[in-house]
Amino acid sequence: MTGTTGTILKPSDFQSSQEPRWCPGCGDYAILKQVQTVLAEKGYQPHEVVFISGIGCSSRFPYYMNTYGMHTIHGRAPAIATGLKVMRPDLSVWVITGDGDALAIGGNHLIHALRRNVDINILLFNNEIYGLTKGQYSPTSELYKVTKSSPWGTAENPFNPVLLALSAGATFVARTIDREVKHQREILKQADDHKGVSFVEIYQNCNVFNDGAFADFTDKKKQPETTIFLKHGEPAIFGVNRDKCLVVENGRLKVVKIEPEGSLPGNVYVHDETSLEKAMLVASLFGPAEHVPRPFGVFYRVRKPTYEEQLRQQRDRAKEKMGEVSLQDLLYGDETWQVK
Residue numbers of the site for another protein (CB under 8 A)? 2, 4-5, 16, 18, 45-48, 50, 52, 55, 62-63, 65-73, 76, 79-88, 90-91, 108-109, 112, 311, 314-315, 318-319, 321-322, 325-328, 330-340
Indicate the residue among 266 and 333 with the shorter CB distance to another protein: 333
Indicate the residue among 274 and 314 with the shorter CB distance to another protein: 314
E-strand stretches of 121-259: 121-126, 172-177, 198-203, 227-229, 237-238, 244-249, 252-257
Check if the beta carbon of residue 72 is closer than 8 Å to that of residue 80: yes
Least distance from another protein to the Cβ atom of residue 129, Å: 22
Least distance from another protein to the Cβ atom of residue 123, Å: 17
Question: Helices 107-116 and 77-87, interaxial angle, to 10°?
Answer: 30
Least distance from another protein to the Cβ atom of residue 90, Å: 6
Q: Which amino acid is at 90?
A: D
Indicate the residue among 12 and 314 with the shorter CB distance to another protein: 314
Check if the beta carbon of residue 139 is closer than 8 Å to that of residue 108: no
Least distance from another protein to the Cβ atom of residue 95, Å: 10
Indicate the residue among 70 and 146 with the shorter CB distance to another protein: 70
Name the CA dihedral angle for 162, 167, 169, 170, rounded to a multiple of 10 degrees.
0
Least distance from another protein to the Cβ atom of residue 315, Å: 5
Least distance from another protein to the Cβ atom of residue 112, Å: 4
Q: Measuring CA to CA, which residue among 120, 126, 108 is closest to residue 171?
A: 120
Least distance from another protein to the Cβ atom of residue 12, Å: 15
Secondary element (H or E) of residue 95 = strand 92-98
- Asked if residue 151 has a cis previous peptide bond (ω within 30° of 0), the answer is no
Indicate the residue among 148 and 317 with the shorter CB distance to another protein: 317
CA 273 to chain centre: 16
Q: 301 phi and psi, to 5 degrees?
A: -150, 120
Least distance from another protein to the Cβ atom of residue 152, Å: 32
Check if the beta carbon of residue 84 is closer than 8 Å to that of residue 123: no
Q: 173 phi and psi, to 5 degrees?
A: -135, 125
Q: Measuring CA to CA, which residue among 314, 318, 311 is closest to residue 119?
A: 311
Q: What is the DSSP letter of 102?
A: I
Indicate the residue among 152 and 337 with the shorter CB distance to another protein: 337
- Say whether 228 sits in a helix, a strand or coil: strand
Q: Residues with Cβ < 8 Å from 337, sequence gap 6 or more?
A: none
Least distance from another protein to the Cβ atom of residue 230, Å: 31
